[in-house]
Copies of this chain bind each other. A is one copy, B any other.
Amino acid sequence: MATLSRKQREIRDRERLILDVARRLLLDKGYLGLSMDRIAAEIEYSKGTVYQHFRCKEDLLTALAIQTKLKRVELFERAVTFDGRPRERMTAIGAADEIFARRYPDYIATEEVLYVQSIACKASESNQEAMQAVDGRCVAAVCGTIKGGIEAGDLEIPPPRQASEIAFGIWGMTFGSRIVGKTPTCMDQLGITDATTSLRRMQQAYLDGWNWRPLSHEWDYDSTRDRILGEVFADERAAITV
């Protein structure tokens, strides 16, 4: 049966409600401010009901992360449809990630907590697998683009280097810069005001370092970016040009 019973619909809606409330709390009050009691109070159900949806707090957080990672991977998979040279598609992924970071600021809060504490391992099997699957799609999009660059002859990866090493670098750099960039003291020390723009330049420098052609001084990636925002992310453009 494709249609759900009234009860099933109720449960599904309530799960959405829980996740919505949890995300807001996480963003507002941080990881420590996110309590199961508070969620229960806000949704006006008892705590036991919340625990019927998620076996523990970590499971809830993982579900939250999956929900938002899905948003990201959708943007990534849209990005790689960009019609251009592989490195332009890589730039498109960068733009996708920037849109993602702006549109879902709560994501950073979710993901970083998940990385740091050993949270994922407490989540239910199914949620762990689901999260891995989403991450896998993300990796596939990035690594696929890198391999596209190799196949097009724009990039060489002499052993023992691997295509995934480039991806690892981009991933680490992006994730790390976002966390470091959030701490004001660090930014004061460095004197950096616009972490987003800096990250963009850093990523291009990194790809130049792997000698991924066309290099940034041979090609106008700023206008590529404009095209990307116009052609692939027209609907999201507002989010990024604020």
Contact = CB atoms under 8 A, between A and B. Distances in A.
A201 interface: yes
A190 B168 contact: yes
Contacts of A176: 171-177, 179
A30 B171 CA distance: 24
B205 A192 contact: no
Secondary structure at the A interface, as helix, strand, loop or mixed, is helix
Contacts of A117: 30-32
Interface stretch (A48-56, A90-98, A207-215, A226-234): A207-215
Contacts of A209: 204-210
Interface residues of A, number: 54
A120 B192 CA distance: 20
A162 B179 contact: no
A223 interface: no
B115 A169 contact: no
A19 to B, nearest CB: 21
Contacts of A115: 112, 179-180, 182-183
Contact of A116 (B179, B191, B204): B179
Interface stretch (A1-9, A37-45, A80-88, A132-140): A132-140
A46 interface: no
Contacts of A139: 189-190
A168 B177 contact: yes
A239 interface: no
A118 B169 CA distance: 26
A21 interface: no
Contacts of A206: 169, 173, 202, 205-206, 209
Nearest to A186: B135
Nearest to A162: B191
Given A112-B115, A171-B180, A206-B206, 9 more contacts: A31-B117, A115-B183, A135-B189, A164-B192, A172-B176, A172-B202, A176-B177, A205-B209, A206-B209
What 3 pairs across the A-B complex have the smallest Cβ distances? Answer: A176-B176, A209-B209, A172-B177
5 contacts: A31-B117, A168-B202, A169-B177, A174-B176, A204-B209
